[in-house]
């Protein structure tokens, strides 16, 4: 019985982490102007006209390799769509 409760707790905590993991922080590793994407922590994020920029960033063209950023995103149809990008200290 205890094992069943432990397994249920692990499953629920794993789901909770996955459900709230909609932001990534790190240095920009690549910027692709043609496809309007940036890569942070090995994840490629697509930027749309609805992406918001903060903390000194105003548009996609302000992004540079090496900048430390936080990317808020939605995961849809197997793609990471950036909803907000902001500079980190």
Contacts of 35 (CB under 8 A, 6+ apart): 46
> What global pTM score does this model have?
0.75
Query: What is the arithmetic mean of pLDDT over 3-27?
Result: 60
Q: Which two tokens stand for residue 15?
A: 């789901």
| Nearest to 87, CA basis, from 42, 26, 38, 46 | 26
The model's pLDDT over 29-51, given as tens digits with 9 standing for 90+, comes to 999 999 999 999 999 999 999 99
Burial class (CB in 10 A: 0-12, 13-18, 19+), 43: middle
Q: What is the signed CA dihedral for 46, 49, 55, 58, rounded to 10 degrees?
A: 120
């Amino acid at each position: 019985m205890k094992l069943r409760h432990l397994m249920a707790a692990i499953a629920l905590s794993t789901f909770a982490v996955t459900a709230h993991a909609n932001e990534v922080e790190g240095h920009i590793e690549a910027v692709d102007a043609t496809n309007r994407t940036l890569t942070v922590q090995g994840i490629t994020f697509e930027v749309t006209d609805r992406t918001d920029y903060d903390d000194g960033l105003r548009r996609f063209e302000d992004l540079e390799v090496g900048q430390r950023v936080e990317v808020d995103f939605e995961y849809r149809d197997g793609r990471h769509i950036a909803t907000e990008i902001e500079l980190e200290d």
